[in-house]
Amino acid sequence: MFEKNILVTGGAGFIGSHVVRLFANKYQNYRIINFDKLTYAGNLENLKDVDTKENYVFFKGDICNREDIIAVFEKYQVSDIIHLAAESHVDRSISGPMEFVLTNVVGTVNLLQVAKEKWDKESNHVFHHVSTDEVYGSLGNEGLFEETTAYDPRSPYSASKASSDHFVNAYYHTYGLPVKMSNCSNNYGSHHFPEKLIPLMINNIVNKKPLPVYGKGLNVRDWLWVVDHARAIDTIFHQGKIGESYNVGGLNEWTNIELVKYLCRLMDSKLNRSEGESEKLIQYVTDRAGHDMRYAIDASKIEKELNWTPSVTFEEGLNATVDWYLENQEWMNAVTSGDYSKYYEKMYQS
């Protein structure tokens, strides 16, 4: 008998696998149900260190399919939800927006609706929706995204996430569903699918392939170690106020080009290459359409109210991350076989 039966959607993905690992190891009294469709981005290998634990189960299901959600609720008496399942890559949303509408909007509303139908108002349930800072749009040189910043999504991905956030708030205000929300900046760390900047660059540096930097490389992102994001979700899930949202970020802004150059220097030294060797692989390529200029998070609410701060510096987190990819070449080889190479070749031909 478990105290809570927590449904983690998207638990086989990058951030979801870190959330499942943290919760399954930390809370023996909770059952962690990983609900995932296993799209190209979902990989059960990400969880091979927890999959024999008694408080962990995997349920293959699709949030777009109401019957799958009902089935998992009935099988495990789901008491809480941490919702991460999504289409997550901006470039894919530009080439194919509809999949983002279906998964991120329709899928989220399906989940909200089943939770509303199954949960009685007297019990203490939590529906924690994991969202992104991209819903706030794009900053100039100054300023930070606050929880009160008006939504201004610009890519099909961020428009779909903003829409899902609005539905989460609508279910709170209209039906009293006990929701919490977090909006986080760019994550980096182990088990990150190599279509995203950092793992893509690491893989290409290892293989001496071109390093495609969009535009002039001057766009800015605020990077947070994925383990610290999982810690923030744990904190908000347990201590955050119902109906509120919390920004999560690292106060760690880098232009893309400075970040790629830093990675090149770090990896040259780890791979015993001569200084400057990997930087020669940098290629400036056509910019992303509608490329948001700068993201930066004001995380003072979660820091002051819930006492969360990042546990590592960027240098420490990136060092550990690069070591993980160098030690887990098999993981990288597995996820870059098959369809990945077709996608990758198509992307950089254009």
Token couple for 11: 């638990």
State how far the Cα of 152 lies from the Cα of 295, in Å rounded to an integer. Answer: 12
CB 315 within 8 A of CB 161: no
212 binds, among ligand DAU, ligand NAD, none (CB under 5 to 8 A by kind): ligand DAU
Question: End-to-end distance of the chain based on CA atoms, in angstroms?
Answer: 54
- Residue span binding ligand NAD (CB under 6 A) among the ranges 12-20, 47-55, 139-147, 290-298: 12-20
- The answer to whether 156 contacts ligand NAD (rule: CB under 6 A) is no
Residue holding tokens 């999959």? 51
- Pick 125 or 180: Cβ nearer ligand DAU: 180
Residues that bind ligand DAU (CB under 6 A): 88-90, 132-134, 185-186, 196-197, 200, 212-214, 219, 221, 256, 288, 295
The number of residues that bind ligand NAD (CB under 6 A) is 29
- The answer to whether 332 contacts ligand NAD (rule: CB under 6 A) is no
Three-class secondary structure of residue 35 per DSSP: strand
- The answer to whether 107 contacts ligand NAD (rule: CB under 6 A) is yes
Report in angstroms the alpha-carbon separations of 138 from 97, 131, 144, 250, 295: 20, 16, 10, 17, 6
The catalytic residue positions are 133-134, 157
107 binds, among ligand DAU, ligand NAD, none (CB under 5 to 8 A by kind): ligand NAD
Report in angstroms the alpha-carbon separations of 73 from 59, 114, 251, 273, 281: 11, 9, 38, 53, 50
Token couple for 229: 């994001």
- Pick 16 or 153: Cβ nearer ligand NAD: 16
State how far the Cα of 9 lies from the Cα of 129, in Å rounded to an integer. Answer: 10
255 binds, among ligand DAU, ligand NAD, none (CB under 5 to 8 A by kind): none
- Pick 118 or 288: Cβ nearer ligand DAU: 288
Token couple for 163: 């829409």
- The answer to whether 37 contacts ligand NAD (rule: CB under 6 A) is yes
Pairing between strand 220-225 and 253-255? antiparallel
- The answer to whether 153 contacts ligand NAD (rule: CB under 6 A) is no
Rounded to the nearest whole angstrom, what is the least distance from the CB of residue 69 to ligand DAU in the complex? 22
Q: Which of 5, 93, 110, 186 binds ligand NAD (CB under 6 A)?
A: 186
State how far the Cα of 62 lies from the Cα of 227, in Å rounded to an integer. Answer: 26
Question: Measured at CB, which residue is nearest to ligand DAU?
Answer: 132
Phi, psi of 306 (to 5 degrees): -120, 0
Contacts (CB under 6 A) with ligand NAD, residues 187-216? 187, 193
Non-local CB neighbours of 76 within 8 Å, separated by 6+ positions: 5, 7, 31, 33, 57, 59
Q: Which of 24, 130, 159, 318 binds ligand NAD (CB under 6 A)?
A: 130
Residues that bind ligand NAD (CB under 6 A): 9-10, 12-16, 36-39, 41-42, 62-64, 84-86, 88, 103, 107, 130, 132, 161, 184, 186-187, 193
